[in-house]
Structures are given as structure tokens and as C-alpha cells.
Chains A and B, each alone.
Chain A
Amino acid sequence: MARALIVGGGAIGRGFVPWLLDAFELDILDASPDLVNGISSRGGFLSFMSDGERLLEKWVRPHRIATTFDALEPLQYDIAFISVGPRNTTRLPAGIEKLRCPIFSLENDPITVDWIKQSYGLNAVYFGVPDVITSSTASPDNLARDPYAIHTENGVLYLQRPPELDLSLERLLPDVHWLPVERLNQEWDAKLYIHNTPHCIAAYLGHMAGCTYLHEALAKPAIQRAVDGVIDELLCALKMVTPYDHHFIESYAIKEVRRFSNRLLFDPVSRVAREPLRKLHPSGRLMGALRLLLSTGVNPTYLMAGIAAALCYADKNDRDYVQLSELEEFGIPAFLKYHLGLDEQSIESEFVARHYADAVRFLRREIV
């Protein structure tokens, strides 16, 4: 039987990828001893996939699950996936360098492919785009059945086609869309802006409104209006600068809002909003989108509200909480310069500095 390895048993790794790996003997590596011991002692975990109004159920039984590569020796796999969070890709446990199979980084950022190659001297590392929303948890009912249960929607996994893709591997993964790197980058563009930008903004607004799950946030008319506004702004800009068919991206956008609102996902606001500094990176879903809008002459009213909400994100459990808690002392230009490397005379920095206070007033009036 073919063998697959998932490094990182979080939302994508545990929730979505196993649904595609029925033909594989599956090993999972995760840094959390609690998760590994818990799943190990139960012999597996429950995974739920929303399909329309139905919630499909699957018992995922990993062949092995461990916190270190030593426990998984010999490391003979046909395919491996990395889904540990972009910031963790350069801190993977020792042993990763021994993998000889194609490795796919599902980290929402193509730069992670280079990071993994450089950090571990690996060559066969490729990019993948999981076009899916996966929660990091499950509904209270399903958590009562299994504390490691997880919910996902029925998404699509796009993988960069390796130069010499083994045909048997392709046959074992019938639901995977294999794309050349140029085409994958287009998917990434679409996902980055039409999916990721409004998705994280919905989470920041949801946090301000005191919501626990994303579907609760989208149920609030003010948040729905703001998210729709962001999508309209992005569509305007994307129609001007990309070759995508306009009907296609409009329907893609409508589908996205429906996905965010999925009441079966129980996607925590804290998961989608986590690490706002990474999401504010100049080439990322917020500042990158701001540059796109400003460069195309689209007024980023709702996007600016989303950026302000990200800068106001105050979750004490979040990795970026400490820095964000001193935002006022830094002032916007210094905060953006030191944390994001944005020159204070850049168009993004000047725009955010000029409009931040108004955007916060808008958020306090409309969202809180």
C-alpha cells in the first residue's frame, strides 16, 4: 500500500487532507504530545465534512502518529504534506531532511517552498493550495463524542505538478487537481485576495463583535455588509489587473461568502484571525490587497476598516498580542516600519496612518 505523511495535525493536516488519502497508509507527525497521545490512545479521530446541508462523518485511523521523526522510521513515503503554519516551516523537527518523496507545502504562501528547501537541503518541495475552509475544532456535540473531532468543508486541493510525477501517485489521488506552477500561481492570486482577504477580515470584525465562530460573525448584518464591501473593492481591482473572466471571479466571490457563512463548520474566529502581523505582511492578504486597490484607483474604504480591525486585534493567547498591545505607543508609521518593514513614506503606510483613526471610529460605531 502507498504511504503518506502529514506533518502538522492542525486544521488542514488533520481536517481536510485525510479525506483525500483513502488509498494510503497514513502517518501523522505533530508537535503536540497531547494531540498525539490522545489520538493514539483512541486509535484515531472523527472528521466531519459539510456537503450542502449534510455533515458527512469519517473515522480517520492513522497507521502511526508521533511527535518525532524517530518514531516514524523508516521514513519511506510516497508523498508528504506540510501544514504546520508558515512561521513554523523553518522549525520542523529533525529528520525532515531524510524524506525522499515529493513534499507539498500547504502553507498559504509559496515562499514557504523556498524556506523548506533552504532550511533542510531538500529539492523535491512543491506548493499546494488547499481551496477549502477547515475548522480547527468541531461542534460542541461532536467534541463530546471525540475531543479531537474536526470539521471541514468539501474543498479542492491544487498541487503543483512535479516535473516527473509518478503516474501511480496521480491515480491514487483522483480528487487532487495537478497544475503547472504558473496556473497554480493564478489559483493562489484568486485565493489570496478573493478568499483570504475577506475571510480574515470577517474574523477580525467577528472578534470585535465578540463572536466565537465565523458563521456567527457573518450572521451580523453590519459584518456581512463590510465583508461584501471588501469583496466588491477587490473585484473592481482584480477585473482591471488580471485576465480572469469577470463572471468567473464574481461567481467565485459569491461562493466564498457562502463558504464563510457555513453554519456546519464551527470555524473559530481565533483560528482565522491568528497572527495578524503575518496577515499584514506587505505582500499578503491585507497590505498586498491595499497596494492592489490603491494602484488601480479603487477606494479601499472597507478594506481599510478590515486593516484597522486587524491592528486592533487583541487576543491575549495570540502570538502577536504583545506587539499589538503597544500599537498606540509605536504610532502607526513606526509600528508598520518595525514589524512589517514598510517604509513610512510608502503609499500603504501613509494611507493607513491617515485613515486609521477614522476607520476605528467606523468600527466602534458599526461593529462593536
Chain B
Amino acid sequence: MKLLNLAARVSCAFSSRNSQQTRTVQKVKDNQSRDVVTELDMRLHRISERFVAERLPGCRLLSEEGGHEALDTGEIWEGEWLIVDPLDGSNNHALAMPNYGYMAAHLRDGRLDGAVIVVPEHNQYIVLEAGQSLYSQPLPLAGSSEHGTVYYAYPPKQDKQARQARGALQDLIDAESAGMYRYGSACAGLYQLLCGRHMAFIGHGIRVWDAIAFLPVLASRQIPVKYAITGRSITVVAGTKAGFLEGAEQILKAEQGLALHTFRNDSLRADAQ
């Protein structure tokens, strides 16, 4: 399992003792005070760079803290790529709050070939590679309720149609679930979906690296996933309650003209716009 080595390097970085120093904010992106880059973001980015250089010859890196043009040009769907979000939930980490994690998706000719997810607060790493999965801890399965909660992630800037869809999705969540959660990390929200603590997850036009690594992991646990990729954005609807997923899918179609595809782990290229 080649990717376990990456999980080991990342786990080690999360585990280093000087956590106060790693919280130092180095920059704020796009003038968005919630989009901070901490020292730990950069350390995990460099670890990913080194891993690709040393262990995945021929593979290219697309990291949140690096260049993202390959997503705009569609280059990402050819050849071998590692798509990395070094620290999802950077703001939480900077504020010494819970909920953050590392995600990497290994893509080969548009197909998700593997994934690495590290959620340090839960002593959990997940490595998926060549159809095999490795969890550092058994998942604490909570047995999700039909009327459980929904994690809803969306970016601060959305166009008019997306904002209308957002309103309708929030109405749906209020009507069909025990409530909406949004705690600053899609990674943490998706992990809680995996554990059964959320009934569903909606990532509404979030960045591709915020969720893509979880797609094959959710599918491997028989959690239905629907998605659409547009440039750098991904919309993901996943969960265990079929009626809720259908409702969310209809809203996205009606309000934004967004057609979701069922994730079957064949090539994502054909589905990307």
C-alpha cells in the first residue's frame, strides 16, 4: 500500500508537539477572513510534494496551496494526479477549535484510484488503494437515524441561482431532517457521515479538493453519492436516505440546472464540465 506512507507522514505532522506554532496564520486568501493558511497547511502541502516526488514518479500534484489551473483546462482528467487539501478546516485549527483534516485523492486518467484521509482528533486515517481499504481505528458506527442531521457546506460567494438553490436546500433540510450542521470542515462533516452521525452531506459548489477524496470511501461503505464537477467546483450529495437525496437533486436541477451523476468510480472525466 503505497499511499499508507503518505498517511504516515501526514499523521506524524499532525502529531508533532509544537501545535501552537503550527497554528500561526501565514496568509489570508482572496481577502476572505475565513480562508486562512496556517503553518500546518504549508507543512502538509510540502509533505505531499515530497511524497509525490519520492513515491509516485510521473504523478503530478494539485494542491489547494499550489496551482489549480489543471482543473480549469481539464488537464486533470489525463494521466496521474494527486489532488490534495492539506488542511481542510484551517480556520478551526488556527483558532484551536476541533474539526479539521487532510484529504488526498489519487486520480489516474480521470478515475479515482485511491485516497488518503487523516482526521487527527479521531486518531483515524483511511487509506484506499486498489480496491483495498485500511482504517487505523474501527469506525465508531453510530447507526444513523432516518431523521438525522445534515452537514451542509457552501462557499461564501454564490451567484443568484446558487443562492436560490441554497434557500430551497435549507428548507428541505429543515423539513426532512433533525437540523443543519456547518462547522467549517467538509472533511470532518464527511467523516461524521461515514460514522453515521449525519444522515446526509451536501457540498454545494465547494472546491473539488474539499470532497473528492471521500467519494470512493463513501462508495466503499455503500453510502450512495451523487456529484457534479464544474471547473474547480464540486457539488456532492451523499447519504443514506434516498428520498432526501432525490429532493436535493431535484432542487439543484430546478434552480441551477445542475445534473448530478451517480458516483460509480468509473472515469469522472465524462461527467466533468
Contact = CB atoms under 8 A, between A and B. Distances in A.
A338 B124 contact: yes
A322 B1 contact: yes
B222 interface: no
Range, interface on chain B: 10 to 19
A331 B17 CA distance: 12
B123 A337 contact: yes
Contacts of B137: 338-339, 341
A44 interface: no
Query: Which of B9, B17, B136: most chain A CB closer than 10 A?
Result: B136
Contacts of A341: 123, 137
A322 B136 contact: no
B12 A334 contact: yes
A326 B4 contact: yes
A18 interface: no
B182 to A, nearest CB: 27
Given A337-B15, A344-B17, A329 B8 contact: yes
A195 B17 CA distance: 36
A323 interface: yes
B125 interface: yes
B123 A330 contact: no
B2 to A, nearest CB: 11
Interface string B124-138: 110000000010110
A9 interface: no
B19 to A, nearest CB: 10
A138 to B, nearest CB: 34
Interface string A310-351: 000000000000110010011101110111010010000000
B123 A333 contact: no
Interface string B3-33: 0110111011011010000000000000000
B138 to A, nearest CB: 9
Given A322-B134, A344-B17, A338 B11 contact: yes
Interface string B98-136: 000000000000000000000000011100000000101
Interface in A113-133: none
B8 A330 contact: yes
Interface string A270-295: 00000000000000000000000000
SS class of chain A's interface: helix, strand, loop or mixed?
helix
A332 to B, nearest CB: 10
Contacts of B14: 334
A334 B11 contact: yes
B15 A339 contact: no
A160 B125 CA distance: 38
Given A322-B134, A330-B11, A344-B17, A338 B123 contact: yes
Interface residues of A, number: 14
A326 B2 CA distance: 10
A331 B16 CA distance: 10
Contacts of A333: 15, 17
A67 to B, nearest CB: 24
A254 B99 CA distance: 52
B104 to A, nearest CB: 15
Contacts of B125: 338
Query: Which of A330, A331, A344: most chain B CB closer than 10 A?
Result: A330
A338 B1 CA distance: 17
Nearest to A333: B15
Interface string A29-47: 0000000000000000000
Contacts of B134: 322-323
Nearest to A340: B123
Interface string A179-190: 000000000000
A331 B15 contact: yes
B1 A331 contact: no
Nearest to B17: A344
A333 B16 CA distance: 8
A356 B123 CA distance: 21
Query: Which of A323, A339, A341: most chain B CB closer than 10 A?
Result: A323
B4 A322 contact: yes
Contacts of B11: 330, 334-335, 337-338
Contacts of A326: 4-5, 7-8
Given A322-B134, A341-B137, A330 B12 contact: yes
A243 B12 CA distance: 42
Given A337-B123, A338-B137, A341-B137, A323 B4 contact: yes
Nearest to A277: B136
A334 B8 CA distance: 8
Contact of B136 (A329, A331, A338): A338
The 7 closest A-B pairs by CB, nearest first: A329-B8, A334-B15, A326-B8, A338-B136, A334-B11, A330-B8, A334-B12
Given A329-B12, A334-B14, A337-B15, 10 more contacts: A323-B4, A334-B8, A334-B12, A334-B15, A337-B11, A338-B123, A338-B124, A338-B136, A344-B15, A344-B17
Interface of B: 1, 4-5, 7-9, 11-12, 14-15, 17, 123-125, 134, 136-137
20 contacts: A326-B4, A326-B5, A329-B8, A329-B12, A330-B8, A330-B11, A333-B17, A334-B8, A334-B11, A334-B12, A334-B15, A335-B11, A337-B11, A338-B11, A338-B137, A339-B136, A339-B137, A341-B123, A341-B137, A344-B15
